[in-house]
Amino acid sequence: MKKVGIIRCQQTEHLCPGTADFKAAKAGKFKFEPFGPCEVIGFVSCGGCPGKQAVARSAEMVKRGTEVIFMATCICKGTPIGFACPHWEAMRNAIEKKLGPNTPLVIGTHPAPDDKKE
Ligand code: SF4
């Protein structure tokens, strides 16, 4: 079973327990599908705007055995707070640069309500 780590938006922490992320990972559905059922071994926030802890926290999750990093749907689709992170592309680029090609970075975890079909 793949070991995965999820980075979420800190703005959603007070509201969202991450249920859809955990369910999708366990079932190997949606964005987890290419990896099959996954074990979430890290679930951290970006550290707050502008996401300055996302790189260090991703690297720490990899150090602790994470094989794939996911940026949660709350970051790139703005669920459930209604707006996408304005920094998500910079965050993605910085994480990719730090982790290199050996650790895949996946954008999103599960469908957002406004997705037609995913
Ligand atoms: S930087 Fe983006 S992901 Fe992080 S708290 Fe701010 S809006 Fe959320």
Residue type, 77: K
The span from the CA of 13 to the CA of 4, in Å, is: 19
| Closest among 54, 63, 51 to 6, alpha carbons compared | 54
Range of lowest pLDDT (2-6, 15-19, 34-38, 111-115): 111-115
Separation of CA 51 and ligand 1 centre (Å): 5
87 touches ligand 1 (CB under 6 Å): yes
- Summarize pLDDT for 36-62 with one digit per residue, the tens: 999 999 999 999 999 999 999 999 999
Relative to the CA of 88, which ligand 1 atom is closest? 2
pLDDT band for position 118 (cuts 50, 70, 90): very low
- Summarize pLDDT for 96-111 with one digit per residue, the tens: 999 999 999 999 999 8
**The pLDDT value given to residue 81:** 78
List beta partners, residue 69. 5, 105
- Residue ranges of the alpha helices (H) in the chain? 19-27, 54-63, 73-77, 88-99
pTM: 0.93
> In this model, does residue 116 exceed pLDDT 60?
no
Return the percentage of the chain with pLDDT > 90, whole number.
83
Q: In the CATH hierarchy, which top-level class contains the domain 2-36+43-107?
A: alpha beta
For the chain, the domains span 2-36+43-107
Work out the average pLDDT over 32-37: 97
Residue nearest ligand 1's atom 3 by CA: 9
